[in-house]
Amino acid sequence: MHTLKTQDQKLLFGDFVYDRLIPQDHLLRRMSNLIDFNFIDKETKDFYSDIGRPGWSPVMLFKCSLVAFLYDVSDRSLEDQINFNIVFKWFVGLDLDQKAPDHSTMTRFRDRLGVEGFTRIFNQIVELARQKGLINDRLTIIDSTHVAAKVDTARLAKFKKDDNDHTYVDRNSPDKDARFGRKSKKKGFFGYKDHIAIDVDSAIITSVKTTPGNVPDGDILPELITGNPECATADKAYDAGPNYKCLSNRNIKSAIIPVRRSPGRPPKAERERPVIERKFGEMKRLHGKRQCRWLGRIKASIQALLTRTVVNLKRLTRLLTPLPMAHSL
């Protein structure tokens, strides 16, 4: 059985090599200096109570997951990437002669924590951002983006579920939870929707929810409002009475588009919506969020939580440990 190791434990003989080879301004070094990842042990201890002491530290396994999603590394290649990339090996807490966990270990780790475990970790990172004064709750933006299921849509056979439910589903799909949805009147997709709320001034994602692709965006707004934002904005898909009532009951000003004008509406809040569009673009372009990695809603939710945790950690690091201008171009 592998010995437990966390970042706080002294490496056997790798410290000198790591210190010489890993630049001080590398993102992972700055992140490691900023974030005490030992909170992972506390947040995950309930998931290991039935088996005693695990073979690999949950801190290390989470850091391996972080590397996978930060650099868009597949499950199959993650072990090799950590074994042969000295920065990755240092970051996860391995000595130079130690081997990384294999992909089956990573799969068991994700299955053990599930949506609940990764939600706890996500929420702790958001709380850290609040403690650091980054989230000011001036304006929350809410939106969703589609994520294609890991299936060959050309082979899907669509049919109507019943006379009252016009959502197309597929009886032969390997992903039984995915559904058909629409990006526009002319473009559809088969998969899921990732719904998020983002604090506009910090660009920190404050909440996340994954649903099948056929779930209307407007149904999810109440679940995404966290903290005490002064105002919330969303596009016309959220223009529904229950959403206005939800915001009113919580004393949150509404800037939903099209807006039902009311006294005290903050002017031009909708102009700040590109913040969330850039965040969606970042996750799809850099962190593999165009398509699901795995099958099923539970794993799609875990992927969404890990991706949002990664971009929040990246944003925290860049806000709190800014690089000199020459490095940040």
pLDDT in tens, the chain (329 residues): 333 344 444 444 567 677 788 888 999 999 999 999 999 999 998 888 766 656 789 999 999 999 999 999 998 899 999 999 999 999 999 988 889 999 999 999 999 999 999 999 999 999 999 999 999 999 999 999 999 999 887 776 655 554 545 555 556 788 999 998 987 778 889 999 999 999 999 999 999 999 999 999 999 999 999 989 999 999 999 999 999 999 999 999 998 876 555 555 555 666 788 888 899 999 999 999 999 999 999 999 999 999 999 999 999 999 998 775 444 43
- 282: domain CATH number is 3.30.420.10
Residues 105 and 222 in one domain: no
What pTM value is reported for the model? 0.86
Residue 126's pLDDT is 97
- Whether residue 6 lies inside any domain: the answer is no
Non-local CB neighbours of 231 within 8 Å, separated by 6+ positions? 138, 139, 140, 252, 253, 254, 255, 266, 269
Q: How far is CA 265 from the centre of its chain?
A: 31
- Whether residue 327 lies inside any domain: the answer is no
Residues 196 and 64 in one domain: no
Residues 106 and 143 in one domain: no
Alpha carbon separation from 308 to 5, 98, 123, 210, 287 (Å, rounded): 26, 29, 10, 12, 10
Residues 26 and 124 in one domain: yes
Write out the H or E segment, with its range, that includes residue 181: strand 179-182
- Whether residue 69 lies inside any domain: the answer is yes
Number of domains in the chain: 2
Domain that holds residue 262: 136-297
User: Token pair for residue 146?
Assistant: 């589609």
